[in-house]
Amino acid sequence: MERTTIGQLSDKKGEKVHIAGWVDVRRDHGKLMFLVLRDRSGVAQAVVKSGVEAFETAQPLREQWVVSAQGTVNERPDNMKKDEQNGDIELVIEELTVLAPAAELPFDLDAELNLDTLLDYRPLTLRTQRGRDIFSVAATIVQAYRWALITREFTEFQAPALTGGDAEGGAEVFKVEYFHDRTAFLATSPQLYKEIMTGVYERAFTIAKIFRAEKSATTRHLSEVTQMDFEMGFIEDHLDVMEMLEAVIRDVCAAVVEKHPDVFARFDTEAPLLPNEAFPVLTLLEAQEIIEKEFGGKAVGEPDLEPEHERQICEWAKKEKGSDFVFITEFPTAKRAFYTYPDPNNPERSYSFDLLFRGLEINSGSQRFHDYDQMVETIKERGMDPEKFSFYLQMHKYGVPPHGGCSTGLERFTARVLNIANVKEAVPFPRDMNRIDSRLSEE
């Protein structure tokens, strides 16, 4: 018999069906065995009654065993119906086959686990409702992000992970033993390639892995990150990029709400709060003044917002502007990457921005240099060698329009959508200074 997915059972009342899935829950009631079964489409309650062979087969079943079952979909009496998936039916199992047994679980999957245990047992803990929720939402985010850009005439490309030089300097970079005894480096950003593609397609985006060798074990750092990057040409200034980003973010939030309406309650949060007006925009100075006035402490004059300041200004934006998102602009040019375009009227300030979401910077962007001579001059002023950028500088040399772009961290965005405290939980297989799958110190 053709397999029916569990999500379709409610439409098959009175019919014989064949399903397959995992045992999520097993409750032994003597002459009745209740099973909650799960497949890719959801869960349903099934029952096996004594007297059929399936009842014997069901005896050894435990959580995570994999089974194939045939039976009849019975409608529950009205007083037994529940307001949940398949809450109006129960599958009466007539035939049962074990496809794969499972070892006894090392802990109760419903328990709240500490992060190390959660990650040590990742192949198992990903199977929990929480695990499946996080990465279902992440999948929706990344696809909605791409789709928002594709429908706005951006062309996707694959940015390289291996780079030839640590050209940008700054961030700590992983070294790779390459051919000819050469050292290659893992990309810290797809930035230069994304700009090059702006010279080709005018609007380009990439979902790229980036790597940071920072010895940092905070709740916001990872060694391997998925960045969602776009870049667009023929802009007036960075405000055009911010407008595009806001449109993309709104599309992404709408997709998450549409596809996962129930998920927010399970994470003790709500759908992202979007203002009716445009996202609030504050200059760094304005934000710092608000922080000092509303929350006390010292902020004005600092070149960036501290993590605590990011939380405070987001709290303010939510209360005063009804928005979980807030843009910060006009960061000091000297504190941003070398390709950041300075404000022509005040070159110490840059045409740059960060987007904060629920207390965390999730996106950073700016207008970039498009003029060859200005770019070369700036590279020199920053103490770097234009020769090392000759590949990148071909873009400026052969004509590129005023352009800008930005970069959203998938993990940070997912974590903030779902109110997850540590970004490591928003990566299926996180890498950091202490872990690649298993803990490094233990091996």
Q: Are 347 and 365 in contact (CB under 8 A)?
A: no
Q: C-beta of 39: minimal distance to a second copy in Å?
A: 6
State the pairing for strand pair 42-49/89-100.
parallel
With beta carbons less than 8 A apart as the criterion, state whether 95 and 54 touch: yes
Pattern 297-336, a second copy, x by CB under 8 A: ----------------------------------------
Region of 337 on the Ramachandran plot (φ > 0 left; ψ -120 to 50 alpha; else beta): beta
Beta-ladder partners of 352:
366
User: Diameter of the chain by CA atoms?
Assistant: 86
Considering only residues 3 to 22 of the shown chain, the ones binding a second copy according to CB under 8 A are 3, 5, 20-22
Shortest distance (Å) from residue 154 CB to a second copy: 8
Residue 306: CB minimum distance to a second copy, A: 26
Tell me, what DSSP letter sits at residue 215?
Answer: -
| Phi, psi dihedral angles at 123 (to 5 degrees) | -60, -25
Closest to a second copy by CB, 165 vs 169, is 165
Structure token digits, residue 172: 């700590």
Whether 309 contacts 288, CB under 8 Å? yes
Instruction: Give Cβ neighbours of residue 151 (< 8 Å, ≥ 6 apart).
Output: none
Residue whose CB is less far from a second copy, 39 or 94: 39
Kindly determine how many residues on this chain lie close enough to bind a second copy according to the rule CB under 8 A.
101
61-120 positions binding a second copy, by CB under 8 A? 64-66, 68, 99-103, 105
For the segment 354-373, give every residue that binds a second copy (CB under 8 A): 370-372
Q: Among residues 59 and 434, whose Cβ is nearest to a second copy?
A: 434
Please identify, using beta-carbon distances, which residue of 1 and 179 lies nearer to a second copy. Answer: 179
Q: Binders of a second copy among 262-301, rule CB under 8 A?
A: none
Q: Is 143 in the site for a second copy (CB under 8 A)?
A: yes
Residue 204: which of 442, 405, 443, 421 has the closest Cα?
A: 405
Query: What does the alpha-carbon distance between residue 23 and residue 5 come to, in Å, rounded to a whole number?
Result: 14
- Pick between residue 32 and residue 200 the one whose CB is nearest to a second copy: 200
Residues 223-242 that bind a second copy (CB under 8 A): 223-224, 226, 233-234
Q: Is 391 helix (H, G, I), strand (E, B) or coil?
A: helix
Rule CB under 8 A: is residue 142 a binding residue for a second copy? Answer: yes
Instruction: Pick the closer one to a second copy by CB: 225 or 305.
Output: 225
Site for a second copy in 389-428 (CB under 8 A): 390-392, 394-402, 410, 427-428
Positions in 147-186 near a second copy (CB under 8 A): 150, 153, 155-164, 174-180, 182, 184, 186
| Position among 12, 26, 49, 122 found at the interface with a second copy (CB under 8 A) | 122
Q: How far apart are CA 387 and CA 399, in angstroms?
A: 18
Given a contact cutoff of 8 angstroms between Cβ atoms, the answer to whether 211 and 161 are in contact is yes
